[in-house]
């Protein structure tokens, strides 16, 4: 393969595009791999499409190696199957919905659990037909609230989604492990560093799920790791609660006047000044019980005001709370929400007036408690009156929550739930997600088969996704420097970038000859044959485009040599022109 830059449909940009906030986005645009068509929606130019095809081919090969069979579903789907699983509603505004000329309702599919379930139901009826795993590489749609970072969070994107169907849980475990292994091979072959973390299942439902994240500071996802090997995305981290405390000798709670203490800091200062601890230790924010008013927004748009109680030294993490209340989302309460809850005295909220269990009212504001608020812990908290707090309020004795919830931020140094040591936090891009769905979809859509005893049993499923376009962006993110992209050879748009510099016809003839020779040997060549373009521009373009090996035919030719240099790392070497093709071929092998 020989691509000539004189005719290749590409134009590089010298300036950074204004709206491109991360390197992969900026460089893919600047190098002419993609162009923006609309927010979160991109067009692919020839070089970008070549990389995409290579990423897809690796994903496809490894899927086929697991025995998964490729199919292809439409993107435009009728409402009914998604109604049956309630996802038509649960997806909320993330779903692109439309009606056809007969007013039938359709959606642009964000994922295809329903369709795969119905297809297997259509074709299969016996345990003898199972197990089966099917996959597709297909265009998906999500109407993201905040599309960002180019291909990393888009609204039209390519996914590989696979689905396994088994007659029993043991079978699902095998299928899940097979896919998990395939994912490791895929990311290894792509040259993408990855961590596997425990994850929540979100709107997908199901029991076990893990994410594949590629670590990068620009990642949208935060994950944790412990020295002992625990890893999870931050939404899935389970708090290790302290042991409960005997409250037999605890003092009776007492209300104190605490004027102008609507912040934790002012409350702690006043408490230390006016109500010091009996043991002389200073009060800290961790001794206060902060009650945060939030709104849960349900997929149908309705809102519920709730209160989350947590130690005063921690913030609520809205994504952790959101994961806990999915498919609802959580956001800070707004003025309208507060207007509907006049019993909540801002800055002085305490358990007395909230929680169904505390108030005995089935219509009271729901009260979620952080798992750290174990029985017997003593707290300073609001007394539901301006300027007053209550001290020595004992959990379990004086108040309870309606439900425990994982809503507090995770902090570096927090203990791993499995006792494997303190957690460290890092950021990453989610490039894969695997789920043990179990029977949720099969039940909703009636996918049953006859088992070995002739009994109809519900099939158990797994679903396995890779963000193909996102993985490409993650590759660009992980493989660049300040000058441009630097692709790993297996996904690069070409193996070798031949640059002819100067105006000398002999240079262009020699470069052409090398490019052709390499190409006939099966090496993919991008040849910068542009006349009247300066060497500086050509070198800058080679650095921007990121082909892994650069061959320069120029001034050295008079002495019978050309220059070969890796795009990144390694050293440049002078090679006699008559050995150029052999040496380049050798170096390509070594990439």
| Interacting residues with a copy of itself (CB under 8 A) | 7-11, 32, 35, 37-38, 41-46, 49, 52, 67, 69-78, 93-94, 96-98, 100-101, 106, 108, 115, 119, 122-124, 132, 134, 139, 141, 143, 145, 155-156
Query: Cβ(179)–Cβ(133) under 8 Å?
Result: yes
82 and 88 Cβ atoms separated by less than 8 Å:
yes
Distance in angstroms (rounded) separating the CA atoms of residues 114 and 482: 44
Query: Smallest Cα–Cα separation from 506: which of 581, 577, 576, 582?
Result: 577
The distance of closest approach from Cβ of residue 39 to a copy of itself in the complex, given in angstroms and rounded to an integer, is: 8
ω before 131 within 30° of 0 (cis)? yes
CB 367 within 8 A of CB 307: yes
Asked if 136 contacts 108 with a C-beta cutoff of 8 angstroms, the reply is no
Q: Minimum distance from CB of 96 to a copy of itself (Å)?
A: 6
Find where tokens 């800058």 sit. 540
Q: Are 155 and 142 in contact (CB under 8 A)?
A: yes
Q: Which is nearer to a copy of itself, 115 or 523 (CB)?
A: 115
Backbone torsions φ then ψ of 246, nearest 5 degrees: -70, 125
Question: Could you tell me the smallest distance in angstroms from the CB atom of residue 16 to a copy of itself?
Answer: 16
Secondary structure of residue 523 in the 3-state scheme = coil
Task: Please identify, using beta-carbon distances, which residue of 306 and 447 lies nearer to a copy of itself.
Answer: 447
- Among residues 3 and 394, whose Cβ is nearest to a copy of itself? 3
Minimum Å gap between C-beta 309 and a copy of itself is 33
Shortest reach from residue 87's CB to a copy of itself, in Å: 16
Reading the block at residue 396, the tokens are: 């379990």
Question: Smallest distance from the beta carbon of 100 to a copy of itself, in angstroms?
Answer: 5
**Residue whose CB is less far from a copy of itself, 79 or 555:** 79
Closest by CA to 244, choosing from 412, 405, 338, 372, is 372
Cite the DSSP H helix spans in 305-448.
318-325, 335-339, 356-359, 440-445
Which residues neighbour 383 within 8 Å (Cβ) at sequence distance 6 or greater?
255, 348, 350, 352, 389, 390
Residue with Cβ nearer a copy of itself (100 or 573): 100
Q: Which is nearer to a copy of itself, 8 or 510 (CB)?
A: 8
Q: Indicate the residue among 314 and 497 with the shorter CB distance to a copy of itself.
A: 497
Nearer of residues 75 and 577 to a copy of itself, judged by Cβ = 75
Considering the complex, what minimum distance in angstroms separates the CB of residue 73 from a copy of itself? Answer: 5
Q: How far is the CB of 31 from a copy of itself (least distance, A)?
A: 13
Among 20, 14, 10, CA closest to 476: 20
């Amino acid at each position: 393969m020989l691509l000539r830059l004189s005719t290749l449909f590409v134009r590089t940009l010298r300036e950074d595009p204004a709206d491109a906030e991360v390197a992969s986005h900026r460089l893919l645009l600047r190098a002419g791999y993609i162009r923006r068509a609309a927010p979160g929606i991109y067009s692919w130019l020839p070089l970008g499409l070549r990389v995409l095809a290579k990423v897809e081919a690796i994903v496809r090969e490894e899927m086929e190696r697991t025995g998964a069979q490729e199919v292809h579903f439409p993107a435009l789907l009728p409402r009914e199957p998604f109604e049956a699983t309630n996802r038509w509603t649960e997806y909320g505004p993330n779903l692109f919905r439309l009606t056809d000329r007969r007013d039938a309702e359709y959606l642009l599919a964000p994922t295809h659990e329903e369709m795969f379930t119905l297809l297997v139901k259509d074709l299969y009826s016996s345990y003898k037909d199972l197990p089966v795993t099917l996959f597709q590489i297909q265009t998906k749609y999500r109407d993201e609230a905040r599309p960002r970072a180019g291909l990393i969070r888009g609204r039209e994107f390519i996914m590989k989604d696979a689905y396994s169907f088994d007659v029993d849980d043991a079978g699902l475990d095998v299928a899940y492990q097979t896919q998990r292994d395939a994912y490791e091979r895929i990311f290894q072959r792509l040259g993408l560093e990855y961590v596997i973390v425990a994850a929540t299942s979100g709107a997908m439902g199901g029991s076990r799920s893990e994410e594949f994240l590629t670590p990068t500071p620009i990642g949208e996802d935060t994950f944790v790791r412990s020295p002992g090997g625990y890893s999870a995305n931050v939404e899935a981290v389970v708090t290790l609660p302290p042991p409960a405390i005997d409250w037999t000798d605890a003092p009776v709670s007492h209300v104190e006047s605490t004027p102008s203490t609507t912040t934790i800091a002012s409350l702690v200062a006043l408490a230390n000044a006016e109500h010091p601890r009996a043991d002389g230790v200073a009060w800290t924010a961790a001794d206060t019980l902060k009650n945060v008013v939030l709104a849960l927004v349900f997929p149908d748009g309705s809102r519920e005001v709730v209160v989350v109680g947590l130690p005063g030294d921690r913030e609520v993490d809205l994504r952790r709370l959101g994961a806990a209340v999915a498919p609802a989302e959580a956001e800070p309460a707004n003025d309208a929400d507060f207007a509907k809850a006049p019993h909540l005295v801002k800055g002085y909220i305490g358990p007395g007036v909230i929680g169904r269990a505390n108030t005995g009212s089935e219509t009271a504001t729901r009260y979620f408690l952080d798992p750290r608020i174990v029985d017997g812990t003593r707290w300073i908290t609001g007394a539901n009156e301006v300027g007053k707090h209550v001290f020595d309020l004992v959990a379990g004795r004086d108040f309870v929550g309606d439900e425990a919830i994982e809503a507090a931020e995770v902090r570096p140094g927090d203990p791993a739930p499995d006792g494997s040591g303190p957690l460290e936090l890092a950021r990453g891009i989610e490039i894969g997600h695997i789920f043990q769905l179990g029977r949720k979809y099969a039940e909703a859509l009636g996918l049953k088969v006859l088992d070995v005893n002739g009994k109809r049993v519900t099939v158990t499923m797994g679903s396995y996704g890779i963000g193909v376009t996102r993985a490409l962006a993650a590759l660009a993110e992980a493989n660049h420097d300040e000058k441009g992209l630097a692709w790993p050879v297996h996904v690069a748009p070409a193996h070798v970038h031949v640059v002819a510099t100067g105006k000398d016809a002999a240079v262009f003839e020699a470069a052409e000859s090398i490019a052709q020779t390499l190409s006939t040997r099966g090496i993919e060549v991008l040849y910068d044959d542009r006349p009247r373009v300066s060497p500086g521009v050509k070198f800058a373009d080679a650095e921007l485009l990121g082909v892994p090996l650069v061959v320069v035919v120029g001034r050295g030719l008079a002495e019978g040599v050309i220059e070969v240099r890796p795009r990144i790392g390694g050293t440049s070497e002078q090679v006699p022109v008559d050995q150029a093709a052999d040496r380049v071929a050798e170096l390509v092998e070594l990439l």
